[in-house]
Amino acid sequence: MSTTKKGFSAKEMQRQLGLKRYEPVWTLVHKLRKTMGNRNSRYTLEGMIEFYQGYFTVESSQVEQAKAKRGRGASGKKNVIVMAESTPVENLETGSKSNQARYFKAKVRDTHSAQEINQTVKENLDDKTIVFSDKSTSYVDITDYVEMHVTEKSSNESTEETLKWVHLFISNAKRNLLGNYPKIKDKYLQLYLDEFVYKLNRRYFGDKLFDRVVIASITGL
């Protein structure tokens, strides 16, 4: 799980370990994902932050389907807030600027409410950050929790420039998750995203990533 960029299913792990029962392997894999999520939660993003809401296809439970029928959102879709730490780097000789995405976070949310957005900002972003987002009405209070909040109307230009990294994250995450796990249940989506984010944020660790996962699993950090 730690050394492959692609997803690694519990079924494949069961096969490689030569185990007869699937359930213990499935539990192990999710425990590792939870460990990755716990480690991700220990830090906050800082500097320039791209902030955007995406939608991921999931296999809804009967309860979620019932809620959707009562107007609580589309069945089979889950709202995910994606945050990217994007620091503008300026070439002192030419004056040109380029963006380099450093770290990411992705949080599954049940609603689009400003209250949930505010809570997500407080838990995941440093209060000195500068946040860039579209003009969603759910973002009305973000400025109360950060240094500055800059909004821009959604367009092809904002997708390619201002919010470049969050859109790229969503595209890659969907391709990675849905390509390997076509039927992710809604209640487990956060765990799959935790694994994806953990490995993405440590994409330059190489073989050291295995040791980091082992240590995090032992210490619970």
| Interaxial angle between packed helices 23-40 and 189-201, expressed in degrees from 0 to 180 and rounded to the nearest 10 | 60
Please name the amino acid found at residue 21.
R
Q: How many CB atoms lie within 10 A of CB 97?
A: 9
221 residues of the chain, pLDDT tens digit each: 887 877 788 888 999 999 999 999 999 999 999 999 999 999 999 999 999 999 998 986 655 555 555 544 455 889 999 999 987 655 556 666 656 688 999 999 988 899 999 999 999 999 999 999 999 889 989 999 999 999 988 777 777 778 999 999 999 999 988 878 878 999 999 999 999 999 999 988 888 999 999 998 888 75
| Per-domain boundaries in the chain | 10-219
Q: In this structure, are residues 169 and 82 in contact, taking their beta carbons and an 8 Å threshold?
A: yes
